[in-house]
């Protein structure tokens, strides 16, 4: 009995991890924000919203990777935090470049407070390359 339960649990975990990888998604898109222009923040969120609306929440995986000056999008105080929360609730992932955080910390004298929706990744560019290797298409609005 224990053996069967173990197999069922392992199968469940496997299915869950497969689903997280987005195998059921018809499209996988990574959006890059690295521009200091505040208008680009609005634009990248608009694009994410439009893609989500077009394909439907279950048919597309979207990850927004922020690095360089674009990391300001993922500051906790950012004026777009309401929209970020809304997109997160719809399944959009947000990644923050650790290298940029480190560099900004030196300039600020302290680490910038990040949006709780943001996951820190080693390097924003490497994260994009990794995602592209997994079949994601790169869009840089």
Partner 1 sequence: MINKNIFTKTLSAAAVVAGLSAIQVAEAANWLMLQGTERPGAAGRAKVWGFIQAQYQSDSSEPFAHPTQGDLYVPPKLIGPNLTSQEQFNVNRARIGVRGIGMPLDSTVNYFLLAELGNNGITAGNGGAAMISDASITINTDAVRIRAGLFKTPGVEEGLQAIHVFDYINFTTVTNQLMLERFPQTGEANTTAPDLTEGNPNSINNIARPVGAFRDTGVQFFQSYKMGKWDHSYAVMFGNGNGLNFGNTADGNMDTYLYWASELAMGGKGPRAQGLKIFAWNQSGKRLNPNGASIDDVQDRTRTGFGVKYLKMPFRVTFESMTGEGMIFKGPHQPVGNYNDLTASGSYIDFGYYIPNSKWEIDLRVDTYTRDENATAEATFDTTTVGLQYHINKKSRVNMTYDMRDFSSEVAAANNQLKGVGDRLAVQLTHIF
Binding site for partner 1 (CB under 8 A): 36-38, 41-42, 69, 72-73, 75, 77-80, 104, 107-108, 112
Contact (Cβ atoms closer than 8 angstroms) between residue 114 and residue 96? yes
Query: 122-130: long-range contacts at Cβ-Cβ below 8 A with a sequence spacing of 24 or more?
Result: 122/98, 123/67, 123/97, 123/98, 123/99, 124/32, 124/34, 124/65, 124/66, 124/67, 124/68, 124/95, 124/96, 124/97, 124/99, 124/100, 125/67, 125/97, 127/65, 127/95, 127/97, 128/30, 128/32, 128/65
Comparing CB distances to partner 1, the nearer of 41 and 95 is 41
CB of 96 to partner 1, least distance (A): 13
CB of 72 to partner 1, least distance (A): 5
Comparing CB distances to partner 1, the nearer of 91 and 112 is 112
Comparing CB distances to partner 1, the nearer of 22 and 68 is 68
Comparing CB distances to partner 1, the nearer of 47 and 60 is 47
CB of 128 to partner 1, least distance (A): 22
CB of 80 to partner 1, least distance (A): 6
């Amino acid at each position: 009995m224990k053996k069967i339960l173990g197999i069922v649990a392992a199968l469940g975990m496997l299915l869950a991890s497969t689903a997280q990888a987005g195998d059921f998604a018809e499209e996988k898109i990574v959006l890059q924000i690295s521009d200091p222009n505040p208008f680009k923040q609005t634009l990248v969120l608009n694009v994410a919203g439009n893609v989500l609306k077009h394909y439907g929440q279950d048919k597309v995986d979207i990850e927004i990777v922020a690095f360089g000056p674009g990391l300001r999008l993922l500051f906790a105080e950012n004026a777009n935090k309401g929209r970020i929360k809304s997109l997160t609730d719809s399944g959009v992932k947000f990644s923050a470049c650790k290298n940029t955080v480190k560099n900004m910390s030196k300039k600020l004298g302290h680490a910038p407070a990040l949006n709780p929706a943001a996951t820190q990744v080693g390097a924003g560019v490497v994260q994009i390359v990794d995602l592209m290797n997994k079949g994601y298409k790169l869009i840089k609005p």
